């Protein structure tokens, strides 16, 4: 499957560090994890885009906070979320589970369950020439999501699923945490040149007020300590260490 040249994905910064992704093609758009509605509505209307679908990775308020207002503006929008989240995302009208596929913007999207951060977190994967995945709060550049409802083992296995994707997969996460994560990683591996180089690159982007995400899986494997963990014990140590790091 080839990613259409007319397609584009833009990130809108909201709240403290959230990023809402808008994936547009021709006159249609898909929004991923809308924390707020106003900036999304403004962007879609200015660009004369019809909202075709909302992808919800999980139920946290900074991911679904804008959804109800978007439904009011576009009553026919598909709200796609985990079947397991019907109690916490009750406005979903297209419920999915691990392994399901759906078609949006003339692309096939696969649902991948990536639990750990929550009990029913999902990601949305598009296997293009340059594959893309919207991972919500499961994986961040140089970090991974906190474990609120799942277990270390579940999160470790979820990250293994992401690691199994093609190296050129472009990863869209929902928070701008990169610099903080890199500083933590450098604290543990102060001689790691890959992490040092990434931090320089990230600081340049921040100075230009640019997003540091999305990021390539191939590059992430060099700097993300969680992805590089060889076993569950090592992963658990890293996650516990990150939870108390200031």
Q: Which CATH number covers residue 31? A: 3.60.15.10
How much is the average pLDDT of 43-66? Answer: 97
Residue 68 lies in a domain: yes
What H or E segment, with its residue span, contains residue 137? none
Query: How far is the C-alpha of 181 from the C-alpha of 197, rounded, in Å?
Result: 14
- Alpha-carbon 94 to chain mean position: 20
Q: In the predicted model, is pLDDT for residue 83 greater than 50?
A: yes
What would you report as the CA-atom Rg of the chain, rounded to the nearest whole angstrom?
17
Cβ atoms of residues 124 and 32 within 8 Å: yes
1 domain residue, yes or no: no
A 10 A CB-CB count for 105 gives 18
Question: For position 4, what pLDDT does the model report?
Answer: 46
Rounded Cα gap, residues 214 and 112, in angstroms: 18
The pLDDT-based confidence of 3 (bands split at 50, 70, 90) is very low
Q: What is the pLDDT of residue 117?
A: 96
Q: Flag whether 2 is in a domain.
A: no
| Total structural domains within the chain | 1
Q: Using the 8-state DSSP alphabet, how is residue 175 labeled?
A: B
Residue 128 has pLDDT above 90, yes or no: no
pLDDT of residue 129: 85
In terms of DSSP H, where are the helices of 56-114? Answer: 61-64, 67-73
Would 73 be classed as within a structural domain? yes
Domain assignment of residue 70, yes or no: yes
Inside any domain, residue 3: no
* Whole-number Å distance between alpha carbons of 41 and 50: 10
Give the model's confidence band at 138: pLDDT under 50 very low, under 70 low, under 90 confident, else very high. Answer: very high
Does 83 map to a domain? yes
Distance of alpha carbon 110 from alpha carbon 112, whole angstroms: 6
| Mean pLDDT of all residues belonging to the chain | 95
Domain residues for the domain of 36 are 8-244
The owner of tokens 């649902």 is: 111
């Amino acid at each position: 499957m080839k990613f259409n040249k007319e397609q584009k994905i833009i990130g809108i910064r909201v709240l403290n560090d959230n990023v809402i992704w808008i994936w547009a093609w021709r006159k249609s758009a898909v929004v991923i994890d809308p924390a707020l509605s106003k900036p999304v509505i403004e962007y879609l209307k200015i660009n004369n885009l019809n909202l075709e679908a909302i992808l919800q990775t999980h139920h946290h308020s900074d991911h679904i906070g804008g959804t109800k207002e978007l439904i009011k503006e576009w009553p026919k929008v598909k709200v796609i979320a985990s079947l397991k989240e019907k109690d916490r995302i009750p406005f979903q009208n297209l419920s999915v589970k691990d392994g399901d596929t759906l078609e949006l913007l003339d692309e096939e999207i696969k649902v991948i369950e990536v639990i750990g951060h929550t009990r029913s977190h999902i990601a949305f994967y598009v296997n293009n020439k340059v594959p893309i995945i919207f991972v919500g709060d499961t994986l961040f550049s140089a970090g991974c999501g906190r474990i609120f409802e799942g277990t270390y083992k579940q999160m470790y296995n979820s990250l293994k699923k992401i690691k199994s994707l093609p190296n050129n997969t472009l990863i869209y996460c929902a928070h701008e945490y990169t610099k903080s994560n890199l500083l933590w990683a450098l604290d543990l591996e102060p001689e790691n040149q890959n992490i040092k180089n990434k931090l320089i690159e990230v600081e340049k982007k921040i100075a230009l007020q640019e997003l540091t995400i999305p990021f390539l899986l191939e590059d992430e494997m060099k700097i993300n300590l969680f992805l590089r963990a060889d076993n569950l014990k090592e992963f658990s140590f890293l996650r516990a260490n990150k939870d108390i790091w200031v």
